[in-house]
């Protein structure tokens, strides 16, 4: 019984990190209808950011959050101008391809420089025990920081002028332009923000697990699943969906062979897509409008 409880808590903790990872994609997708295929690689950038700042500059692990956020934002804005700006307004396939090609270049450089060598940042914090089970302090810290970041994002989007501009552009770009919002700047900002979120989630993930240059792929796939479950363009939904996914993994594992969890995840994913095309959380929202 306690084992089940432990799994549930673990699921929630890790799931929140999945949610954070997905927030970047869902924001970008929602605002500018662009599927950012460099997302996984940006997560890896965040991981490397942690590694280098801690090892080369001796920065304490969690203090790297702010610099990584800023650098991620700048990289995101740069990426926007290089690959995405010309694709706005075109079919989503084009932006998909342009981000995909940038991703190829980055992965190529990464593997040429570092191969698939393993990196690890040994971070440890005192954790909580529940009988024979332990919740590592790092997991608790990661979940806490995720909540803080998600909260900050929510406040930004709903309480600041710039945030409202972002939401306006997401709702209707042409109308936003008509009322005088500098849409290009807003798009660049939103993209930068999405990438910054990816980098920060990478940094948090690197405090928990070892990584390689290719580690981003698995997280990118999970991010897609979470984004769909939570509803496109809905960062809070992404967080909740991420937690739900983690919960699912935690709940399923004690009861069935672990190798079946992936099958369940993806079957669920397709099933949700078919029955709730707008995402699980938009169902409620739609009803409220009616």
Partner 1 sequence: MNRFWLIAVAGALLGAPAWATGEDTITVGMTVSRTGSLNVDSVAQLRGAELWRDEVNAAGGIKAGNKRYRVRFVTYDDQSQGGRVQQLYTRLIVQDKAQFLFSPYSSGLTATAAVITEQYGRIMLIGGGAEAKTYELGNKYLFQCITPADYYLAGAIQALKEKNPHAQVALVYSDDPFSKAVVAAARTQAAAAGFKVVLDESYPPTTTDFSAIINKIISSRADAFLGGGHYPDGATLARQLHDQKAALKWVTILVAPDSPQFTTLGAAAVGITVPSQWEPQVQYKPDFGPTPEQFARLFESHAKVEVDYHAASGYVVGLLLQRAIEQAGSIDPDKVAAALEKIDVTTFFGRDKFATDANRHGLQLAHQMVLAQWQVRGGKLAKEVVWPDAAKTANVLYPLQDGATTASVLNPLH
Partner 2 sequence: MILRRPFFWIIAVVILLFVTAPTLGNDVELRESLLLAAVYVTLASNLNMMLGYAGYVNFGSIVFFGLGGYFCVYFVSALGWTLVPATLAGGGAVCLLALLFGLGILRLRGAYFALATIGVNEAVMAFVTNFAPWGGATGIYLSSELFQPLGGPARALWIIYYALVGVMGSSLYLSYFVKVSKFGLGLLAIGQNEDAAAVLGVPTPRYKALLYAVSAFLPAIAGGLYFFKGAFIQPADAFDLQLSTEAIVITMLGGQGTVAGPALGAYLYEELRGWLLTSATLSNFQLVVAGALLLVVVLFAPGGLIGWVHRRWPRLRRVLE
Least CB distance from residue 100 to partner 2, whole Å? Answer: 7
32-91 residues in contact with partner 2 (CB under 8 A) are: 33, 35, 83, 86-87, 90-91
Q: Does 114 bind partner 2 (CB under 8 A)?
A: no
Nearer to partner 2, 16 or 98 (CB): 98
98 binding partner (options partner 2, partner 1, none; Cβ < 5 to 8 Å by kind): partner 2
Sign of CA dihedral 97, 101, 106, 111: positive
Q: Which residues contact 216 (CB under 8 A, 6 or more apart)?
A: 39, 40, 41, 42, 43, 44, 202
Cβ atoms within 10 Å, residue 62: 17
151 binding partner (options partner 1, partner 2, none; Cβ < 5 to 8 Å by kind): none
Of 13-21, 92-100, 208-216, 235-243, the segment contacting partner 2 by CB under 8 A is 92-100
Determine which residue in the list 52, 147, 164, 261 makes contact with partner 1, applying CB under 8 A. Answer: 261
CA dihedral 26, 28, 32, 36 (to 10 degrees): -100
63-102 residues in contact with partner 1 (CB under 8 A) are: none
* Strand, coil or helix: 128: strand
Nearer to partner 1, 212 or 282 (CB): 212
Least CB distance from residue 2 to partner 1, whole Å? Answer: 8
Least CB distance from residue 228 to partner 2, whole Å? Answer: 6
Q: Which residues contact 55 (CB under 8 A, 6 or more apart)?
A: 121
Determine which residue in the list 164, 253, 268, 276 makes contact with partner 1, applying CB under 8 A. Answer: 253
Helices (H), 160-215: 161-171, 173-178, 183-208
Q: How far, CA to CA in Å, does 281 sit from each of 22, 82, 227, 261?
A: 15, 34, 11, 23
Site string for partner 2, 4-43 (x = CB under 8 A): -------------------------x---x-x--------
63 binding partner (options partner 1, partner 2, none; Cβ < 5 to 8 Å by kind): none
CA dihedral 75, 142, 265, 117 (to 10 degrees): 60
Asked if 208 contacts 62 with a C-beta cutoff of 8 angstroms, the reply is: no
Which residue, 20, 39, 13, 16, is CA-closest to 235? 20
| # chain residues binding partner 1, by CB under 8 A | 53
Determine which residue in the list 1, 117, 274, 289 makes contact with partner 2, applying CB under 8 A. Answer: 274
Using CB under 8 A as the criterion, which residues of the chain lie in contact with partner 2 when the complex forms?
Answer: 29, 33, 35, 83, 86-87, 90-94, 96-98, 100-109, 111-112, 221, 224-225, 228, 232, 257, 259-260, 262-263, 265-267, 269-270, 273-274, 277
């Amino acid at each position: 019984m306690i084992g089940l409880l432990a799994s549930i808590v673990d699921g929630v903790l890790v799931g929140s990190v999945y949610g954070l990872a997905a927030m970047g994609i869902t924001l970008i997708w929602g605002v500018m209808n662009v599927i950012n295929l460099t997302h996984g690689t940006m997560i890896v950038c965040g991981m490397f950011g942690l590694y280098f700042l801690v090892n080369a500059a001796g920065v304490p692990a969690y203090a790297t959050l702010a610099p990584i956020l800023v650098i991620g934002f700048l990289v995101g804005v740069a990426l926007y101008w290089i690959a995405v700006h010309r694709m706005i307004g075109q079919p989503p396939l084009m932006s998909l391809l342009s981000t995909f090609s940038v991703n190829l270049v980055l992965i190529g450089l990464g593997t040429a420089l570092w191969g698939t060598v393993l990196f690890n940042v040994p971070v440890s914090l005192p954790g909580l025990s529940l009988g024979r089970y332990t919740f590592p302090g790092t997991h608790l810290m990661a979940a806490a920081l995720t909540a803080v970041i998600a909260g900050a994002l929510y406040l930004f989007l709903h309480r600041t002028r710039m945030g409202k501009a972002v939401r306006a552009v997401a709702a209707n770009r042409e109308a936003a332009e008509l009322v005088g919002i500098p849409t290009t700047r807003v798009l660049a900002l939103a993209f930068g923000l999405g990438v910054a979120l990816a980098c920060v989630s990478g940094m948090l993930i690197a405090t928990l697990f070892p990584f390689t240059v290719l580690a981003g792929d698995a997280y990118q796939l999970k991010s897609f699943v979470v984004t769909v479950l939570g509803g496109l363009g809905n960062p809070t939904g992404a967080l909740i969906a991420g937690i739900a996914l983690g919960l699912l993994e935690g709940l399923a594992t004690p009861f069935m062979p672990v190798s079946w969890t992936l099958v369940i995840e993806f079957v669920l994913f397709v099933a949700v897509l078919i029955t709730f095309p707008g995402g699980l959380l938009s169902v409620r929202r739609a009803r409220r409008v009616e």
